[in-house]
A and B are shown apart, each in its own frame.
Chain A
């Protein structure tokens, strides 16, 4: 067992767990966006930063979802350094997701003031990577990935056309924290020309030419609609 202090509270936890897990199991609230208990931690949104004290080093911010619990750590989850960090991170999220109800709610929660930087194009995708990671780790399909680099980064299918691997399970749509994904964006289509050897299958036909006959989309959309009603 490992012993550490979080917000002046002594915590005991088994080995190999992260600071975030320690917090969540002890009722300490930390906001997250890119974290999901069913997936490997990513450390991308930087919303879960906590202040770590390891004298003689100066205290520093670390991402709770990926930082391992170690014997003797001293952590603060609501210090001024942490609160300021959350405010600025959410302010940066609002640069593109400025109309997203989920992000706006988060902004109210952490106390964001003025949004000082806005990008020209609105985009509710905050690149948390949950959809891509779920498609890989949960369903093992890997139909989508994050392409390009930096500000041009986005979630896409190969060649940015309808995927032929996607099985229309809808996991990506369900797991998205901002509702940036619509099922119509990622829809599975298999080649409808029988007998074509795999590498000649024309994966990269333009979207509009592909026969959109989704197998289970209707059912999943209904499922989603029902889920939203009961929330």
Chain B
């Protein structure tokens, strides 16, 4: 579990603050650092940057990049772009939802996996694509996703 440090959050905000419009950049940095936006961070950012908290909260809930809930250890992103769709990404997503027992956007109870979709990563020739913790796996099929999950779980067990 990440420890929330007010000093650290303030540092991030100050680094990014460069006048008007820094709110989104500040939130992006915080999201990157903690994996989500803790309420304290929204409040601090709103005060430091002179933006009403209602606007900061609206921004945090408008954009897909931000999450107000902590995510799982491993983030699985399934690309749902057209090319991937036409090549079978819905089946891949189906498979992941079934195997993990969660729906898209949710995190498994053991906080190990978060399953999300993304609208087109631009690597359309290699579809369907699943991005795991930043690593791209192309030409995925339901069978290959089983293997992907097995690999992750095995790596966790070895830890």
Report A's interface with B, CB cutoff 8 A.
136, 142-149, 156-159, 163, 165, 198-199, 203-204
Contact = CB atoms under 8 A, between A and B. Distances in A.
Contacts of A165: 52-54
The CB with the most chain A CB atoms within 10 A, among B47, B56, B61, is that of B61
Given A146-B58, A204-B39, A158 B6 contact: no
A143 B6 contact: no
Given A159-B39, A198-B47, A142 B54 contact: yes
Contacts, number: 44
Interface residues of B, number: 16
State the majority secondary structure of interface residues on B: helix
A-B pairs with lowest CB-CB distance, top 4: A142-B52, A145-B54, A145-B58, A158-B57
A165 B54 CA distance: 10
A146 B55 CA distance: 8
B124 interface: no
A148 B64 CA distance: 9
Contact of A203 (B43, B52, B58, B62): B43
A157 B55 CA distance: 10
A147 B57 contact: yes
B40 interface: yes
B39 A203 contact: yes
Given A148-B61, A159-B39, A143 B54 contact: yes
Given A145-B54, A145-B57, A158 B42 contact: yes
B8 to A, nearest CB: 14
Interface string B6-47: 100000000000000000000000000000000110111001
Contacts of A157: 54
Nearest to B63: A149
Contacts of B57: 145, 147, 156, 158-159
A223 B52 CA distance: 29
A147 to B, nearest CB: 4
Interface in B52-99: 52-58, 61-62
A158 B62 contact: no
Contacts of B47: 198-199
Contacts of A203: 39, 43, 53
Contacts of A159: 39, 57
Contacts of B43: 199, 203
Contacts of A136: 52
Nearest to B40: A199
Given A159-B39, A203-B43, A148 B62 contact: yes
B61 A147 contact: yes
B54 A144 contact: yes
A145 B40 CA distance: 19
Contacts of A149: 61-62
B56 A158 contact: yes
8 contacts: A142-B53, A142-B55, A143-B54, A144-B54, A158-B42, A158-B57, A163-B54, A203-B53
Contacts of B58: 145-147
A144 B57 CA distance: 10
